[in-house]
Amino acid sequence: MTQAHELIVGGQRSGKSGRAERLALRWPGRVVVIATALAADEEMRARIAHHRATRPAHFETVEAPLALGAALRQVDRDGTLVVVDCLTLWLCNWLMPLHGAPDADGWHAEREALLALLPRLASPVLFISNEVGWGVSPLGRDVRHYVDELGRLNQDVARRCARLTLMVAGQAWTRAIEDDIDV
């Protein structure tokens, strides 16, 4: 298990990105943000613009709405901290694309490639993801499938991390991950 990765989860506007940014500001070397969002509408374009405008100038940004593993391999090196913002939108891009049909085979291949890559990275990674399974059960089959997939993804990424942080109302609850499975 890689000892440096951290998964930061929480609800929308719980402080996940802010937590990752504060941790990254303390990092003594290079910081790269891998952004997974796609600007589908004006509101999302405004959110993306806000993130870009408030991100520290020395943070590099790589946009990777689908090819997260390739982006991680591209920026990976000693002395680099990577922030992935976020797994929630990355999964959405695969299972609920703006245009066209979901690519289930592509998603499964990309997911497995990411999970296999994590223990081999030289760079520590701060993953940001939403915890969406605490609310009302979604009515639609596709949305239930998405929620289930995100829950499984969060669990599998967490197993490959040293720390898990739950953000609640802007407050971080962090704990070391137990090594209860072979990864």
Q: Is the CB of residue 7 less than 8 Å from the CB of residue 165?
A: yes
Burial of 1 (0-12, 13-18, 19+ CB in 10 A): middle
- Mind telling me the catalytic residues? 51
What amino acid occupies position 53? Answer: A
Query: How far apart are alpha carbons 175 and 78 in whole angstroms?
Result: 25
Whether 47 contacts 19, CB under 8 Å:
no
